[in-house]
Amino acid sequence: MSEPIVVTTEDRVAIITINREARRNSLDHVAMGMLFDAFTACAEGDVSVIVLHGAGTRAFCAGDDVKAYAERSAEQSRRHHARGLRLLELIEEHPCLVIAAIEGYCLGGGLELAISCDCRIAARGASLGLPEVRRLGLLPSWGGLTRLPRLVGIAHTKAMALLGQRLSAEEAKAIGLVNEVVPDGEALERARSFAGAYASEVKRDTVELAKQAIVHGYGAPRGAARLLDELSDRALSAGDTLSGAGGAS
């Protein structure tokens, strides 16, 4: 049996593949755990940019594995949900730039996974949505109700989460949910090309500090945000000084 999560690394770029094409790259507890381990390893390794994608072109990720969901007890489901929250938080606050390369379906937990990344490159035929409330009687509670509004606003979030609106890649780009739209079958290659150029140009420490300031400074009172800006800049300057001192010793 092939591994559900596959990681390859070259020139400080990691490609993380959700390798469950037969299940539309949905996440059961095994895949979820391995995905968490993969992002943790990248944080601890010589990686600056991560590209996350699903095997094949039918789906980026269909979210939680419905078959596995039906077989879990209530306690197992609670633990699985908690793992998902920890994973998406790890991705959002990851020291590396994280790019989602989206082909095909990007629904439910799959969309929540994508919006935890820093940017999204989608193939023209991609379909993005949160069907849980209207179709399944469930909640998109891996960030669909809390992280998505920060990207696209309350009105668009309500349309997607409450009304079940499904967006094409172009529609998603128009509201800021997707950064770039490419021809079908080219999302991974475009993301890989961008990642390679970015990794050669930008210091990981700088990216990490910038991400932390964005994530934790959003919505903060003006004084707190200003302090965060100042402390981030001081931390970066101190890091450069220490690096220089270390290199001279």
Domain layout of the chain by residue ranges: 5-201, 204-248
Q: What is the DSSP letter of 18?
A: E
Distance, in Å, from the CA atom of 38 to the CA atom of 45, rounded to the nearest integer, reads: 10
Alpha helices of the chain — where are they, by DSSP H? 29-44, 66-71, 74-92, 109-115, 148-152, 154-161, 169-174, 187-201, 204-217, 222-248
pLDDT band at 249 (very low <50, low <70, confident <90, very high): very low
Q: Output the pTM of the full model.
A: 0.91
- Residue appearing with tokens 């594995």: 65
What digits encode the pLDDT tens for the residues 122-135? 999 999 999 999 99
Superfamily of domain 5-201: 2-enoyl-CoA Hydratase; Chain A, domain 1 (3.90.226.10)
Distance, in Å, from the CA atom of 131 to the CA atom of 54, rounded to the nearest integer, reads: 19
Q: Is the pLDDT of residue 34 over 80?
A: yes
What digits encode the pLDDT tens for the residues 198-215? 999 999 999 999 999 999
Distance, in Å, from the CA atom of 121 to the CA atom of 200, rounded to the nearest integer, reads: 20
The token duo for 111 is 């969309």
Distance, in Å, from the CA atom of 245 to the CA atom of 247, rounded to the nearest integer, reads: 5
What digits encode the pLDDT tens for the residues 151-189? 999 999 999 999 999 999 999 999 999 999 999 999 999
In 3-state terms the chain splits into helix, strand, coil percentages (rounded to 5) of: 55, 20, 30
pLDDT band at 226 (very low <50, low <70, confident <90, very high): confident
Between CA 219 and CA 225, with CA 222 as vertex, the angle to 5 degrees is: 70
Burial of 119-140, coded b for 16+ CB within 10 Å and e otherwise, reads ebbbbebbbbbbbbbeeeeeeb
Q: Which strands, in side-by-side order, build the sheet including 59-61? A: 59-61, 105-107, 127-129, 166-168
The token duo for 217 is 């400074």
pLDDT of residue 240: 60
Best CA proximity match to 231, nearest among 210, 245, 204: 210
For the segment 1-5, the average pLDDT, to the nearest whole number, is: 87
pLDDT band at 1 (very low <50, low <70, confident <90, very high): low
Q: Which residues are catalytic?
A: 112, 132
